[in-house]
Amino acid sequence: MLSSLWLLALTVGLLIVASAFFSSAETALTAASDARMRQLANKGNKRAKIVEKLRADREGLIGSILIGNNAVNVLGSALATSFAIALFGEGGLVWATIGMTVLLVVFAEVMPKTYAFTYADSYALRIAPVLQVVVRALSPLSVGIRLLATQIIRPNPDANENREEELRGLIELQGNDGNADDRERKAMLSSILDLNEISVEAIMTHRGTVSMINADDQVEDILRYVLNSPHTRHPVFSGKSDNIVGVLHVKDLLRAVGEAETSMILPETVQNIASDAYFIPETTLLFDQLQAFRSRREHFAVVVDEYGDFRGIVTLEDILEEIVGDIDDEHDIDLAGLTPQADGSWLVDGNVTIRDLNRTLGWHLPDEDASTVAGLVLFESRTIPSPGQEFRFHDIRFRIVKRKGNRLTRLRLWAK
């Protein structure tokens, strides 16, 4: 009789250990880092590959763990009740309930899960082979329960969107808790996610500030112009500025000039030197355009609206600057059209883009409804103001300085 009671007690203890295993396994496999497992798997770590395989079928994994956990808990509670009744009679039911509740909560739930969460990656790797065997053994039951669950619970259509929001939240937390370098990395990672939400219209260089070349000009005049320009590529127009006929690269022009010195013949028009223009719609998302630049091996695109009219240009550097911030070289100049004043205000050309202004001054003017400073004033005021009129939008004071026709060409801005 005594030996059977000891065997019963030992069995209950082993079932509590099994319950602790299932509880900790669920926590570890859920909390383990996807990125770390991927890196280890790429390096040939077999246990990491097992973890990835198990997590690939999360429903099957969780189902098997829950089946095993509940089975050992129910069996352990039943055996503990029999053990307590054998010792204390009918009153043993109360002692079994209290004792198993304490044992399961402390030793099969709280402590194992706390340990598994603290050492999620290493613990997941240690238990992966054993857990794989358990999941395979319980898979028939798990599949049946899963089929029943899918009939009752519909899949979440917003799962991918929630995944992106979770990633954004992790980036935000890591950046806020770190130093300046961490905050810089946070900004870069957030910008990468934003590439699929921002169109080229938001970052393009507006047509009013694009350095362009008239195809009817002489090559000698064009050569002098590009040598004084900080840019290496220039759109070429013929007749009207909307009629873009090509893109001139400085290297192509210099190569033509070098060949002309040998042949004593210089091309009569720049169209013979310029390459074909690459046109894109203004609604193209930055991520798609980045992929297009890579596949086409292009660095420069001409942006047009829905009517095919010229709107501006966008370059590969513009998109990269959305990720890493401004990339300045020895030929870059400060933001054209922005001049500081002695009283702390700023003189701004109307065609300066809001995104460039925000970057330069650290402001937060919205650019959803307008891309230029002049466009923002027209949108907010719902009128075409005259010189001297003032407005206050988004904690910025705007004064109209100059207007040409219906176009606002110069404004003065004060912060707060």
pLDDT confidence of residue 370: 83
pLDDT confidence of residue 333: 47
Task: State yes or no: pLDDT of 264 exceeds 70.
Answer: no
β-sheet bridge partners, residue 213:
236
CA–CA distances in Å: residue 327 to residues 330, 367, 377: 10, 22, 29
Give the percent of the chain with pLDDT over 70.
88
pLDDT confidence of residue 353: 81
Residue 361: DSSP 8-state: H
β-sheet bridge partners, residue 46:
none
154-157, Cβ contacts within 8 angstroms, sequence gap of 24 or more: none
Give the percent of the chain with pLDDT over 90.
20
**Which amino acid, 184?**
E
Taking the CA of residue 125 as centre, how many other CA atoms within 13 Å lie in the half-sphere pointing to its CB? 14
Kindly state the average pLDDT of the residues 189-210.
83
Query: pLDDT-derived band of residue 35, with 50, 70 and 90 as boundaries?
Result: confident
pLDDT confidence of residue 322: 80
The token pair at 371 is 């891309």
pLDDT confidence of residue 10: 85
pLDDT tens by residue, 319-328: 888 887 666 5
Task: State yes or no: pLDDT of 330 exceeds 50.
Answer: no
pLDDT confidence of residue 161: 57
Kindly state the average pLDDT of the residues 288-302.
92
Query: pLDDT-derived band of residue 290, with 50, 70 and 90 as boundaries?
Result: very high
pLDDT tens by residue, 110-147: 899 999 999 999 999 999 999 999 888 888 888 777 77
